[in-house]
Structure 1
Amino acid sequence: MHARVLRYLDEVVRCGSIRKAAEVLHVAPTAVNRQILDLEAELGAPLFERIGKRLRLTPLGEMVLAHVRQTLREHAALLGRVEELKGARRGEVALATTSGLAASLMPALVGAFRARNPGIVVRLLDLPVEAIAAAVVAGEVDLGLGYDLPAHASLRVLAGNDWGIGAVMAPGHPLAGAQALRLADCLGHPLILPAPALSIRAILDEALAHEGLVAVAAVESTSTALIQRLAATGAGVAWLNPLDVVEARRRGELAYVPLRDAHLRRQALTLVARRQGGAAVAVKLFAQALEAELAARSAELG
Structure 2
Amino acid sequence: MDLKQLRALVTVADTGNVTRAAALLNIVQPAVSRQLRLLEEDVGAALFDRSRQGMALTEAGRTLVEYARRVIQELERARAEIQPAAGGVGGIVTVGLLPSTADLLAYALVAAVGLQYPGIRVRIATAYAGTLQGWLESGEVDLSLLYDPRQTSTLRVRPLLDEVLWLVGLPASGLRPGQPFAVAGLAGRPLVLPSAPHGLRLLVEQAAAQQSVALNVVAETNAMSVQKSLVRGGLGLTVLPTIAVAEDIAAGHLVGAPLSEPALERKIVLASASSRHISTPVRCVSAALVDCMAQAVARGQWPAARWLAGPPGA
Contact map agreement 1:100 1:225 (CA 8 A) in 2: no
Larger radius of gyration: 1
What's the CA shift for 1:111? 4.9
Identity over the aligned pairs, expressed in percent? 24
1:29 maps to what in 2? Answer: none
SS of residue in 2 equivalent to 1:258: strand
Contact map agreement 2:170 2:232 (CA 8 A) in 1: yes
What's the CA shift for 1:119? 4.2
What's the CA shift for 1:193? 1.6
Q: How does 1:32-47 map to 2 (within 5 A)?
A: none
Q: How does 1:198-277 map to 2 (within 5 A)?
A: 198-262=198-262, 264-276=263-275
TM-superposition CA deviations, 1:157-202 (whole Å, max 9, x none): 2342222211112234322476211123344542112211310111
- Paired with 1:148 and 1:259, the residues of 2 have a C-alpha distance of 19
- Paired with 2:296 and 2:172, the residues of 1 have a C-alpha distance of 25
Contact map agreement 1:92 1:122 (CA 8 A) in 2: yes
1:80 maps to what in 2? Answer: 84
Contact map agreement 1:90 1:282 (CA 8 A) in 2: yes
Q: CA RMSD in A?
A: 3.0
TM-superposition CA deviations, 1:3-27 (whole Å, max 9, x none): xxxxxxxxxxxxxxxxxxxxxxxxx
1:196 maps to what in 2? Answer: 196
Q: How does 1:137-216 map to 2 (within 5 A)?
A: 137-176=137-176, 179-216=179-216
Amino acid aligned to 2:205? D
- Paired with 1:77 and 1:183, the residues of 2 have a C-alpha distance of 50
- Paired with 1:95 and 1:248, the residues of 2 have a C-alpha distance of 26
Deviating above 6 A after TM superposition, structure 1's stretches of 4 or more consecutive aligned residues are 73-76
What's the CA shift for 1:267? 1.1
Contact map agreement 1:155 1:273 (CA 8 A) in 2: yes
SS of residue in 1 equivalent to 2:272: strand
Contact map agreement 1:171 1:253 (CA 8 A) in 2: yes
Q: 1:250 to 1:288 in 2, by over 3 A?
A: farther
SS of residue in 2 equivalent to 1:165: strand
2:284 maps to what in 1? Answer: 285
Contact map agreement 1:189 1:236 (CA 8 A) in 2: yes
Question: More deviation in 210-219 or 171-180?
Answer: 171-180
- Paired with 1:126 and 1:156, the residues of 2 have a C-alpha distance of 19
What's the CA shift for 1:133? 2.4
Q: 1:197 to 1:81 in 2, by over 3 A?
A: same
Q: 1:228 to 1:119 in 2, by over 3 A?
A: farther
Amino acid aligned to 2:293? L
Amino acid aligned to 1:281? T
Q: 1:182 to 1:297 in 2, by over 3 A?
A: farther
Q: 1:119 to 1:169 in 2, by over 3 A?
A: farther
What's the CA shift for 1:243? 2.5
- Paired with 1:93 and 1:158, the residues of 2 have a C-alpha distance of 18
The count of corresponding residues between Structure 1 and Structure 2 is 224
**TM-score, scaled relative to structure 2:** 0.61
SS of residue in 1 equivalent to 2:260: coil
Structure 1, unaligned stretches of length 5 or more?
1-72
Structure 2, unaligned stretches of length 5 or more?
1-76, 306-314
- Paired with 1:150 and 1:275, the residues of 2 have a C-alpha distance of 14
Contact map agreement 2:166 2:259 (CA 8 A) in 1: yes
